[in-house]
Structure 1
Amino acid sequence: MFDIGFFEILVIGVLALLVLGPERLPGAIRSTLKTVRSVRNMASGFKQEVEHQLRVHELHENLKKAEQQGLKDLTPELQDSVDELKKAAESVQEPYKKP
């Protein structure tokens, strides 16, 4: 991601030690690591959300294609998408069915 070598990290560490001092340096490192982790988690969540939205869009497009073909003689890809959407619709209706 970043092209930071050992020498650059050493220079940053020495400067941080001189500026912050040995008392505040561990706390600064912890807060920096916490911030980096939260940014990574946000990026991961964003990536998962985009992938999910792309998958939903793909299913929607496949359903449109299947409807245009009249849900007959579908390609295996379109048939899989239609089957997946039918299962999702049934799972949504499941809690509302009366015994």
Structure 2
Amino acid sequence: MLDVGFSELLVFGIIALLVLGPEKLPEAARFAAKWYSKFKRAITSVQNDIDRELRLSEFREQMQQEMKRIQELEQKMQAQMNELQQQSILAAEQQKQTARPDNKNFSHTFTHLTQLRTAVPSSYRVKIWLDRQNCIHQSIDTVDIQKINTVELKVAV
């Protein structure tokens, strides 16, 4: 701790012997050793406290990094769960669409639409039919039924 050599200690001892005398020198040496040990313990305690604080701050940094990593993983998992939910919804919709169309419903609805010819413009008839069939897609282009031949309707069915 203190960079004191043997020659310096010898000079210090001789001066102490001359100043204090042989009777008080042992008592002064004990007193100096006692204060030196207290000083050394205090320095060691401060060093330990500093080391503990440094380790604690490093631990906090590691913990914050792990928390960020956990949050990123949670966001990724949430995104994957949303994607899986969308896929299951799309699969359910596809099952509904494949299960619905049959010739009886189409012919019944088509005759019902011909009755609506006077009330509803022809461009909306297909849209009404799609709505009644519970089709999900709203962006389907409607076709004027009057432009379609009956032969094409038979092929389409």
TM value normalised by structure 2: 0.43
Partner in structure 2 of residue 95 of structure 1: none
RMSD: 1.8
Partner residue in 2 for 1:9: 9
Matching residue of 1:70 = 70
Pair member with larger Rg: 2
Matched, 1:53 2:45: no
Whole-Å Cα distance in 1 between the matches of residues 50 and 3 of structure 2?
27
C-alpha separation in 2, matches of 1:9 and 1:62: 48
Which letter does structure 2 place at the counterpart of 1:38? K
The structural deviation recorded for 1:71 is: 6.2
Structure 1 stretches lacking a partner, 5+ long: 74-99
Structure 2 residue runs without a partner (length 5+): 74-157
User: In structure 2, the residue corresponding to 1:58 is in which secondary structure?
Assistant: helix
Equivalence map 1:20-99=2 (5 Å): 20-70=20-70
Aligned-partner Cα distance in 2 for 1:48–1:3: 22
AA in 1 matched with 2:37:
R
- Partner Cα distance (1:33, 1:54) in 2: 31
User: What is the percentage of aligned positions where both structures have the same residue?
Assistant: 34
Distance 1:61 1:3 in 2: 37
Partner SS state of residue 24, structure 2: helix
Pairwise CA distance, 1:2: 3.2
Give the letter for the 2:53 counterpart. Q
- CA–CA separation in structure 1 for the residues paired with 2:6 and 2:16: 15
Moved over 2 A (4+): 1-7
2:28 partner amino acid: A
In the alignment, the residues of structure 2 paired with residue 42 and residue 68 of structure 1 have an alpha-carbon distance, to the nearest angstrom, of 39
Q: What count of residue pairs does the alignment treat as equivalent?
A: 73
Q: Which one has the bigger helix percentage?
A: 1
